[in-house]
Amino acid sequence: MGEFGSRIVQNYPYVFALALFAIGVYTILTHSNLFKKVIGINIMEGSIYVLFIAAGNVRGGVAPVLDLANSDLVYVHPLPQALMLTGIVVSVSVTALSLALIMKLYRSYGTVDAREIARLTRLGNEVGADVTSGS
Amino acid sequence: MSIAFVIAAILSTALGSLAVALLSREEKGLRNGVVVGSALLGMILVWHLGFAIPSGVYPEISLAIASLSLKLAVDPLGLTYGLIASTLWVFASVYSIGYLHGDDKQKQYFTFFLLSAGITLGLAFSGNLFTFYLFYELLTFATYPLVVHSGTKDALQAGTKYIKYSLVGASFILAGIVMLAFGTGGILDFASLPTALAGLPLGRLVVIFFLFLLGFGVKAAIMPLHGWLPAAMVAPTPVSALLHAVAVVNAGVFGILRTVYSVFGADLVQSMGVRPFLLLICSITILMGSLIALRQDVLKRRLAYSTISQLAYILLGAFLLHPLALAGAILHMIFHSTLKIVLFFSAGIVAEETGYLKVSELSGVGRVLPLTMGSFGLISLGMIGMLPLSGFWSKYYLLRGSLVTGSWPLLVVLLVSGILNAFYFIPITVSAFSGQSELLPRKRTRLVWLMLAPTLVLAILGVVLGLWPGLTWPLVHAVVNQFFIL
Amino acid sequence: MSLVVRDNLPVLIVVALLSSAYVMPLLTKIRRFRFAEFFAVFMIALALSGGIYLGQGILNHGSFTYAVGGWAAPWGIELSLDAVSGFFLITIGLVATPIMLYASYDLVAEVGSRSRAAWFLTLFLLLVAALCGLAITGDIFNIYVMVEVATIASCAIVSARNDSASVAATFKYLMLATIGSGFVLLGIGFLFVLTGNLNLNYIGQTLRLTWQNYPTALWVALSFFTVGFGVKSALFPLHVWLPDAHSTAISPSSAILSSLAIKGYIIALLKIFYVGVGAQIIWELPITAILTLLGMGAIVAGALFALAQDELKRRLAFSTVSQVGYIFLGIGLGNIHGLTGSFMHILSHALTKALLFLAAGAMIKRTGKTRISEMAGIGFKMPVTLGVFAIGSLSMIGIPLFSGFVSKWQLLLGALAKGNYLAVLVLVAGSLLAAAYLLPVLRTALFVRPTPTPAKDEAPSVQLVAMVFLAALVLVVGVFPHQVLQLAQKAAATLLRWGVL
Amino acid sequence: MYWSLFLILIPFLGAAMLPCFKDLRGQLILNIAVGFLSLLGSMMNYLAQRSGETLICQLGGSSIFTPTLRLDGLSALFGLFAALVWLVTGIYMYTYMQREERPLSFTVFHLITLGAVQGVFLAGDFVTLLLFFEIMTVASFFWVIHRRDRESMRAGYFYLFLGIAAGLCLAGAIALLLVSGVTTELGIAALLPTDTALFGWAVILLFLGFGIKAGMVPVHIWLPMAHPVAPTPGSALLSGILIKAGAYGMIRTGQLVDWGLGGLVPWLGTLVVILGVATMLLGVGLALLQGNAKRLLAYHSVSQMGYIILGIGTALVLGQGAYGVSGAIFHSLNHALFKSALFLGVGIIYLGTGELNLYKLGGLWKKYPITAICMLIAAFGITGTPGLNGFISKSLLHHSALDVALSGNPIMVWSERFFNLVGVGTTASFVKLIGLMFFGKQKTKLKEGAGEGPFLASGMVLLAVVMLIIGTQPQLILNLFVIPATLAAGVSDISHLTHISFFESTAVWDMLITLAIGATFFAFGMKTHLFHYQPPGWLSLEVAGWQFVKAYKAVELGASKMYQSPARLVTRGLRRYYRRLMVVNRRLDYEGGGIFNNLNFSNLNTDVFLILTVLAALALYYLTVLITGV
């Protein structure tokens, strides 16, 4: 394994985050279904939450609830968790917005396939017959 | 106090332009009055300044704008350009009224016509490089509507070409100015630039010099930057006359004169060692311009190439860096403007009265329009440099200047170009008077007189200045004194 | 009372805008629609006056910080009121007010229904509030939140009108912007991991001492920021969403998106780079070189793309790509002139592009023609509109006496000070290309005259007032830029000095 | 002497007043009146400088240009005979112009040219001279193109363009003079110039400029074209006076170099002698071959100008050679008289017959007795028959030629031999002219109303009388006119002239022998048809002119092509690249179905991909920096 391997094992949350990120991106890239794209985005964002939480984590730490009696307790960093709550809220709103948009797209194009939508848009453009010319 | 006259002169035309813009399309009489009146007022104000030259006190005023300083100043060189422009503008405005009669875009035309006048005066009295650049750039935009006035496809294409060339040129100037400002720590005043530049590395100065040369060279139509000028001849004739023989092209020439004498100073340019190259370029332009002119059948295009060739004379005088040559350059700037405008005016009258635009069609036109073609013929002799016309005197000084500086090949260039001028000018007049034509003489209407009168007055001026070239001497002397310690 | 207002002005601006945003739908229910619109304009104008007040204070007395809710940094959210925030606040106010005014004329007709229009007002105010927030915040996570608010608001604004093209564009925009946000968040995560802080000042102080230990990590963070904000502010080649989004949106949306929204992200980037990381470190890492390079690429490529467009708004959208390049170039140059130039260009481009989009909108609205080649003779129909369009074009080209020149001059000086002659060339070429893609519009509209000459049919006077106001501002900034320029210089100095200290 | 100015202004004024007369006769009478006033004025001028003083006046003026007038013996003499010939042509025109088209235009330019010519002769410095010189060129150009046919237009262009070239040469010369530190004043020898080389070039240009006007070989090509095509009074004046303006200028130039005394331009004399001899030979050789009367006379003008140039050249070689200078001056005067008389005579014949071809004329003496006699006198004059004016000036010139030949320099020796040869040729051709015109059978019908009207004849008679007076009273003329002129031309030692005896037997016999050989040669030539020989084109040098025009056109075409083709190439290339760029742009722009779509991605995917690529690029960049350590 060597040192590199052991470092990977030690930082497994980060590797996990990276893997999630890759999966998210892969999903966005390979699926032309718009819903799947949104899911991909969500996976990607999830990876970021993992990263943050991992960063704030302290091995053996407990939830940062103040316990005056036990002063030896090691708390995990509360801030990233608080932040990620915000992040999740943002993510949810983005997801909501995108779902709304997908609905609209479906209404106008009759499909949720990105490739199909692109084709239809292009078709529309070609009917508009642009013979552009520079100055 | 006299700086107020400068501002008043600029404002009189600019406000005239505004007034024209605000007047309704139908109020022709009032508009014509405003046009001629404000041009005349501008001219009077500039002439008033002109009579103050001998005092040797050059007023100036500065105002901080656009993060830089706007400075207006009166000096002999600027005054020369201002006098030429403001005076000829009056003639051109009278001519335009006759020429554009019946055109439905007169309002637009006269608005920009006067605006250009104001900008030109601003250019003339710019006291620093930034102000100069400002007006130079504005001039392009103010004259563009005049170039594309007819709105035809040709006109639009020519206008685009004009704008392209001008803007590219102006960008070079901007780059040059910014490099200069960076080098001198923001000093851009003409009065203090030559000394401020003394410490800068020569290599960088050469780069800046060539940036300016390229930039102003576009408007001065140095070959191969001249392409826009013949194309822009689609403009109405008074515009071609005024802008492309007087104001715009002279703005370029004026810019180069400024560059050589006010920005760098003759000594610095001398030490840069670029003079032979500059003279070569000018010589090529002079000869090639004349040679190409002969191949042009459209009269105004021929005149345009002639302009290209003649402008290079002025530059030649500027680049020789000698008092005599500078005097020649200044004289040529004055004389070429007053002569070339007559040629354009005549061409315009011919086009308006007969509809003929080509040299090959002009045969016999002289019978119908004797005064017009007579002026044309007379003045074309001046372009050749024959004596009773003023054109001789500038060549005479240029010849002397080039000989004094030891550049004798220029003697050959100047003489050969004189005969080339004859080759492409003389046959026009001769065939106009000797050829056959089916045209019938027409009665001269009042409108024709509006065009003819300025033409004739300027033609006579050409002869008067040819016989009494000394009339211009105070001005020329002042300019030479400004840049050379005599 | 007034004292309370004055002391809490920074936060009040944002809060007032936010709360009024949510009031809008309600307001349209209980009062006449026009009243709501008027109220929106009023609120933005109020924000503007607040901004000006703050800006003056900053100019005279220097910058200050404001602890939100009394929680001091590093724990509380700190608002840092410096020249940067003052400058951007004023910019937002100056540009957003006339846009709102313009939009108020026929908003309902434009977006389809009254309720949609009400939501448009909400989103608009939200966007402005978020931008104000970006201007004043000194906290890196707060930046993230504001960025997200702005992103969602602008996405929604793009699809204000219910048509398929704009929805498709919005979706694209949303996806890409979210990915961008993801990167930004990643970057923030990295910075937080590196420094344990979220306050920009504290991050800066920590990094100055420790960054040598993990340059790669810092680099990765900066890369994330660059790409993240790059996507959002349409830095070439990450601009791909912009032309679609900006050209399909309704004109007021295009105007505010092109002129202000993308600038907000740039301000955020500036704050993170120069305040959070610090000029010294930025200079050490090759990030400035990359920004310069990207900026130059953007200037040229954006303009070239713009040249190929025949659709007016699309051309203007690509022009935005090109102009954003100027700002990034200035940031990349990283000296006082360059940064001043960037700030001035933020203002100048905001004014100019808003003006151009509004004028284009008016033209399209009146004639129904979207393509430049069809616009022959519009100048005879709408002289004033075309007049202001001409002013905008000239400013964009960078003619002296127009605002564009002031910024371009500073950028040129910056490039020279850096000894970067290529940048000088690109700046100059950019002006020329701007002329190449804007002047044909004027040429076709003003000098090609169809027969018969169209009768005069000017844009409605409210819209005219908005456009003329912007045009006047372009001229005022162009001719008498001292106050603004001073503020911009101070902003640049602020960024640089904080880096040095 | 301000009143001398009126001499210049009156013709101009007259020209301006001419159109006021609606009646052609009135115009022509005004023309005569102006000619008369001009003659009167010239006489007053002559009297004014009679005492030998030089009058100079500066007109107004300024620091740039001060027009100066100068009146001395030389200018008075030239002005006088110019005015005389003008008066004669003026009288002649009264009849002639009533039969010519566009009489007004011709008359106007007749007067303008008179003013200009007087101006040339009265000018006090080179610039003033140039001023009138140019006016003269332009005004007389209208004589040449008066007919407006193809031939005259062509001749006119040659005349004008060469005239302009002459003016430019003079302008260049003036600049050179000023720069070489020499005054441009006329009538004084130059002080030591600061730059001898430039001064030398100035003198060359002066000779070239005046030489063009004077019909000097090889720049004479305009002359044989222009002189025949003008209406007769025009031809007479062109050949009689205008080319004398060139001679006058050359004399003044000679004076400028102090007739070679200062040794300023040492090779100048030899050069001018060679040019003079070449001019003489070429002129007379080609004259012999002409069948057209006017062309014959025109070539003789070239030849006779050769005499004058030779005189100037020998004077330069000798250093203030009095014979040469006085001979040149005297011959200018004489040539003006007989050549205008000859042209006028030919013109009378032309009016009657409409024919200029000698071989189609003949036997006209009965119908035109006075013309015949006058032309005979003039012909005797030009051939140098003793008892007529030509003999006197040719004697002087021959003396001068002999003097230089004494040096033994082969050029000079041969020039003296050619001098005699040219005399033979001249005689032959004038025997031909007179013989074919007036004797033999009449071959052409006369037009109605043909004949010598009083106005036509009286002018010629006047000239003939003057010629006879000069021929018989040479010493008187010499003392009255030529010697003061020679003095004024800067020759200080005139002792030879005061003691000269023209009618020595040897000289007379020499001339008579020449005449006899000439007559024989004519007979020989007529028998052998030698005169119909068409010389190869190059010999006439006119062809050289055409070659020059062709070459010029080729150069001009080449130059504009040379410029235009690369310019077009560049513009086309740029335009093509621009189009290509726009195509690429549109491909890259996703909306149009960009290249990324072809990779089977949908829009959004490409964009995300792009973002990641940029990120990767940044990382890569960083790695490079890290590894290379830049």
Interface of C with A (CB under 8 A): 141, 144-145, 148, 152, 155-156, 159, 162-165, 167-168, 170-171, 174-175, 178-179, 181-182, 185-186, 189, 192-193, 198, 307-311, 371, 373, 436-437, 439-440
The arithmetic mean of pLDDT across residues B121-141, rounded, is 88
pLDDT at B102: 75
The arithmetic mean of pLDDT across residues B420-424, rounded, is 86
Q: Do C482 and B182 touch (CB under 8 A)?
A: no
Residues of D with Cβ-Cβ distance to B399 under 8 angstroms: 171-172, 175
Give residue-wise pLDDT tens across range D152-196. 888 888 888 888 889 999 989 988 888 888 888 887 777 777 788
Please say if the pLDDT value at position D265 is more than 70: yes
pLDDT at C1: 46
- Both D549 and D535 in one domain: the answer is no
What is the C-alpha separation between C106 and C462, in angstroms, rounded?
A: 10
**Alpha carbon of D332: minimum distance to chain B alpha carbons (Å):** 26
Place of tokens 């008027």: C38
Interface membership of D606 toward C (CB under 8 Å): yes
Q: Select from D589, D604, D619 the Cβ nearest to the Cβ of C172.
A: D604
pLDDT at D598: 39
Please say if the pLDDT value at position D626 is more than 50: yes
Which segments of D289-321 does DSSP mark as H helices, in order? 293-318
Distance from first CA to last CA of chain D, Å, rounded?
Answer: 90
**Topology of A2-60+74-110 in CATH?**
Helix Hairpins (1.10.287)
Asked whether the bond before B474 is cis by omega within 30 degrees of 0, the reply is no
Of A127-131, B130-134, D6-10, which range is least confident?
A127-131
Interface membership of C304 toward D (CB under 8 Å): yes
Q: Do B148 and C447 touch (CB under 8 A)?
A: yes
What is the C-alpha separation between C237 and D492, in angstroms, rounded?
A: 93
pLDDT at B110: 86
Q: For an interface test with C, which of D622, D624, D625, D630 has the most C Cβ atoms less than 10 Å from its Cβ? A: D622
pLDDT at C352: 92
Residues comprising chain C, all counted:
501
* Chain C adjacent subunits, 3+ CB pairs under 8 A: A, B, D
Interface subset of C 314-343, CB within 8 angstroms of D: 314
- Both D621 and D603 in one domain: the answer is yes
Most confident of B318-322, D184-188, D493-497: B318-322
Under DSSP, the state recorded for C311 is: B
Residues of C with Cβ-Cβ distance to D618 under 8 angstroms: 223, 226-227, 290
Sign for the pseudo-dihedral over CA of D105, D109, D112, D118: negative
Contact partners, residue D450, CB within 8 Å, separation at least 6: D351, D352, D353, D367
Q: Do D593 and A115 touch (CB under 8 A)?
A: no
What is the C-alpha separation between B387 and D133, in angstroms, rounded?
A: 9
- Both D474 and D573 in one domain: the answer is no
Please say if the pLDDT value at position B57 is more than 70: no
The arithmetic mean of pLDDT across residues B361-387, rounded, is 84
From B50, B69, B49, select the one nearest B61 (Cα to Cα).
B69
pLDDT at A17: 84
- Both D385 and D258 in one domain: the answer is yes
Contact B182, B252 (CB under 8 A): no
Tell me how far the alpha carbon of residue D31 is from its chain's centroid. 24
pLDDT at D179: 86
Q: Select from D586, D601, D609 the Cβ nearest to the Cβ of A132.
A: D586
Give residue-wise pLDDT tens across range D11-68. 888 888 888 888 888 888 888 888 888 888 888 888 888 877 788 888 776 677 888 8
pLDDT at C325: 92
pLDDT at C323: 92
Give residue-wise pLDDT tens across range D510-532. 778 888 888 888 778 777 776 66
Question: Over chain B, what is the mean pLDDT?
Answer: 84
Contact A117, C168 (CB under 8 A): yes
Interface confidence, given as ipTM, is: 0.81
- Both D492 and D629 in one domain: the answer is no
Interface membership of D619 toward C (CB under 8 Å): yes
Please say if the pLDDT value at position D592 is more than 50: no
**Alpha carbon of C313: minimum distance to chain B alpha carbons (Å):** 22
Burial code of B153-180, b = ≥16 C-beta within 10 A, e = fewer?
Answer: eebbebbbbbbbbbbbbbbbbbbbbbbb
Residues of B with Cβ-Cβ distance to D175 under 8 angstroms: 396, 399-400, 403, 411
Which helix or strand (DSSP H or E) is residue C152 part of?
helix C140-158
User: DSSP letter string over D1-34?
Assistant: -TTHHHHHHHHHHHHHHGGG--SHHHHHHHHHHH
Residues of A with Cβ-Cβ distance to C198 under 8 angstroms: 79, 83
Question: Over chain D, what is the mean pLDDT?
Answer: 81
Give residue-wise pLDDT tens across range D268-296. 888 888 888 888 888 888 888 888 888 88
Confidence of residue B293 (pLDDT cuts 50, 70, 90): confident
Model-level pTM? 0.85
- Chain C CA closest to residue B104: C453
Confidence of residue D148 (pLDDT cuts 50, 70, 90): confident
C-beta atoms surrounding D176 within 10 Å: 27
pLDDT at D604: 59
- Both D421 and D447 in one domain: the answer is yes
Sign for the pseudo-dihedral over CA of B245, B248, B251, B253: negative
Structure tokens that stand for A65 in this block:
């609830």
List, for chain C, all residue ranges whose pLDDT scores fall below the cut of 70.
1-6, 70, 73-75, 497-501
pLDDT at C66: 77
Structure tokens that stand for A90 in this block:
């943002």
Q: Select from A28, A118, A133 the Cβ nearest to the Cβ of D608.
A: A28
* Chain A adjacent subunits, 3+ CB pairs under 8 A: C, D
Q: Distances from the Cα of C280 to the Cαs of C273, C288, C329, in angstroms? A: 10, 11, 18
Confidence of residue B67 (pLDDT cuts 50, 70, 90): low
Interface membership of A104 toward C (CB under 8 Å): yes
Q: Select from A86, A105, A131 the Cβ nearest to the Cβ of C167.
A: A105
Residues of C with Cβ-Cβ distance to A109 under 8 angstroms: 164, 168
Q: Do A28 and D604 touch (CB under 8 A)?
A: yes
Residues of D with Cβ-Cβ distance to A125 under 8 angstroms: 591-592
Please say if the pLDDT value at position B257 is more than 50: yes
Contact B351, B301 (CB under 8 A): no
Q: Do D602 and A32 touch (CB under 8 A)?
A: yes
* The last residue of a domain, from among D476, D505, D540: D540
Contact D242, D117 (CB under 8 A): yes
From C406, C405, C430, C425, select the one nearest C415 (Cα to Cα).
C425
Q: Which domain holds residue D611?
A: 594-630
Residues of B with Cβ-Cβ distance to D168 under 8 angstroms: 384-385, 415, 418-419
- Both D191 and D265 in one domain: the answer is yes
Contact partners, residue C225, CB within 8 Å, separation at least 6: C183, C184, C187, C269, C272, C273
What is the C-alpha separation between C494 and C500, in angstroms, rounded?
A: 10
List, for chain A, all residue ranges whose pLDDT scores fall below the cut of 70.
1-2, 121-135
pLDDT at C500: 40
The arithmetic mean of pLDDT across residues D260-275, rounded, is 82
pLDDT at C74: 66
